[in-house]
Amino acid sequence: MSDVIDRFIRYVQIDTQSDPQSKNCPSSEKQLVLAKFLLEELQSMGLAYVELDENGYIMATLPSNIDHQIPTIGWIAHMDTSPDMNGAKVNPQFVENYDGADIILNASENIVLSPRDFPDLLKYQGQTLITTDGTSLLGADDKAGVSAIMSAVKHLTDHPEIPHGTIRIGFTPDEEIGRGADLFNVEKFNADFAYTVDGGELGELEYENFNAAVARITIKGRGVHPGSAKNKMINAINIAIELADLLPVQMRPEHTENYEGFFHLTRFDGTIELAVLVYIIREHDHEKFKWQKNYIEKSVDLINLKYGSGTGVLEMKDQYYNMKEKILPVMHLIDTAKAAIEQLNIEPKIVPIRGGTDGSRLSYMGLPCPNLFTGGHNFHGRYEFIPVNSLEKSTQVILKIIDLYSGHRHA
């Protein structure tokens, strides 16, 4: 078993689910179990300035071994896994020489990973896949990224003859609940730029992501006995449904792809007297993003005009922005990564992220930070899988990018 695969199997068996209900950082103490494990491994490799801070962030440095100045590159991944699916007792399964047929994940519960549902499986016929046992997520998001970075660093420490500049390592908590960059100290990290290793399919390279906002709409009703409700009752549930119907059906996530934005209803709670809707708003284009937020505002205004001022109360805030604006001035990051991918005979897939990434927020905090593939598929659920070859290639791309920067000077 290769070093990166061995690490991946060990790391995914440590439960690190983040907790959106917690106000602490890290949001779950169990993330620190993996953090302390990684800390010891980094120290044993002989890295400098290895540190785990009180909030669960790890930073470490592999000093330069060359005599001329080149950029300091950061490599970042997150340790937590999604709260959307059980992350405990992960039992990874190897499917060798995959033949394109259904994969029985769990016979007793009839859980099947099928190319009929997930046609991307067919790209990996003849390869070895790592899957779940059907009772948990796998955790490739983002323990695959952690594994790839750790394996690349181990390779460099085992081969000090390989030239490289200063390399900074950062592992973060709570990315899955949108807080991964909250307490990341960019100044202390002290890198010229970085890459998050938190992407999907083999060859993916991403420097565009959604602009994002969240909108919470509270609808206030009036409860009256239904037998005497005429002209008196105001049913908050019905008004909430009416509000939801004001938003374009074609802009729901299940009807969008590529650069298309959406309104996504993530929560709907209601009684006659009080109903709550929570939407996440996503769009790559900044002007369209502003239009979406204005559309929500006007929809609530319409409800208030129809049912009385204060019936609908909107709370809306921006979450993160498209990193493209911050990457365009330093496109050598993308050009170098693309060249590295191509030199390893992989087809680059430069695609927009239909989601967010720590790299987006970090880019706006002064650390340009595009995203590289790990090879994983179907994140956050029991059907998650990762091809062994893809994860191994992720490590190789990291090493090739380091090699290219070591051989070329960049302003």
Cα within 13 Å of Cα(244), Cβ side: 22
Sheet holding 58-62, edge to edge: 48-52, 58-62, 167-172, 73-78, 193-197, 371-372, 204-206, 349-350
Which residue of the set 141, 175, 198, 384 is catalytic? 175
Question: 């990996």: which residue's tokens?
Answer: 124
Q: What is the pLDDT of residue 109?
A: 93
Q: Which run of H or E residues covers position 245?
A: helix 236-246
356: its two tokens: 């967010």
Average pLDDT of the chain? 95
Could you name the CATH architecture of 211-320? 2-Layer Sandwich (3.30)
Q: What is the mean pLDDT of residues 293-301?
A: 98
Q: What is the pLDDT of residue 1?
A: 81
Q: What is the pLDDT of residue 409?
A: 42
pTM score of the predicted model: 0.89
Among 200, 234, 206, 207, smallest CA distance to 220 is for: 234
Q: Is 258 exposed, middle or buried (0-12, 13-18, 19+ CB in 10 A)?
A: exposed
DSSP string computed for 254-311: GG--TT--EEEEEEEEE-SSEEEEEEEEEESSHHHHHHHHHHHHHHHHHHHHHH-TTS
| Cβ neighbours of 268 (radius 10 Å) | 14
Which residue of the set 80, 142, 198, 206 is catalytic? 80
Q: What is the pLDDT of residues 156-209, one digit of tens each?
A: 999 999 999 999 999 999 999 988 999 999 999 999 999 999 999 999 999 999
167: its two tokens: 């390399």
Q: Is residue 265 pLDDT above 50, yes or no?
A: yes
Please give the Cα distance from 387 to 200 (Å, whole number).
11
Q: Is 44 exposed, middle or buried (0-12, 13-18, 19+ CB in 10 A)?
A: exposed
Please give the Cα distance from 245 to 223 (Å, whole number).
23
Q: Is residue 356 pLDDT above 90, yes or no?
A: no
Please give the Cα distance from 236 to 82 (Å, whole number).
32
For residue 238, the one-letter residue type is: N
Q: What is the pLDDT of residue 406?
A: 92
Band (410; pLDDT cuts 50, 70, 90): very low
Exposure pattern of 148-173 as b/e (b: 16+ CB <10 Å)? bbbbbbbbbeeeeeebbbbbbbbbbb
In three-state secondary structure terms, 239 is helix
Could you name the CATH architecture of 3-208+322-407? 3-Layer(aba) Sandwich (3.40)
Name residue 59's beta-bridge partners.
51, 170
Q: What is the pLDDT of residue 358?
A: 87
Cα within 13 Å of Cα(163), Cβ side: 11
Q: Is residue 53 pLDDT above 60, yes or no?
A: yes
Q: Check if 201 is active-site.
A: no
Q: Is residue 11 pLDDT above 50, yes or no?
A: yes
In three-state secondary structure terms, 105 is strand
Q: What is the pLDDT of residues 72-110, one digit of tens each?
A: 999 999 999 999 899 999 999 999 999 999 999 999 999
Q: What is the mean pLDDT of residues 382-387?
A: 97
Please give the Cα distance from 327 to 371 (Å, whole number).
11
Please give the Cα distance from 51 to 63 (Å, whole number).
15
Contact 204, 349 (CB under 8 A): yes
DSSP string computed for 157-205: HH-TTS----EEEEEES-GGGT-TTTT--HHHH--SEEEEE---STTEE
Q: Is residue 411 pLDDT above 80, yes or no?
A: no
Q: What is the pLDDT of residues 113-170, one digit of tens each?
A: 999 999 999 999 999 999 999 999 999 999 999 999 999 999 999 999 999 999 999 9
Is the pLDDT higher at 397 or at 20? Answer: 397
For residue 395, the one-letter residue type is: T
What residues does each domain of the chain span? 3-208+322-407, 211-320
Contact 208, 322 (CB under 8 A): yes
Please give the Cα distance from 131 to 387 (Å, whole number).
9
For residue 149, the one-letter residue type is: I
Q: Check if 175 is active-site.
A: yes
CA 208 from chain center: how many Å?
A: 13
> Which DSSP state fits 14?
S
Q: Is residue 376 pLDDT above 70, yes or no?
A: yes
Please give the Cα distance from 187 to 165 (Å, whole number).
19
Whether 211-320 and 3-208+322-407 are alike in CATH topology: the answer is: no
Q: Is residue 408 pLDDT above 70, yes or no?
A: no
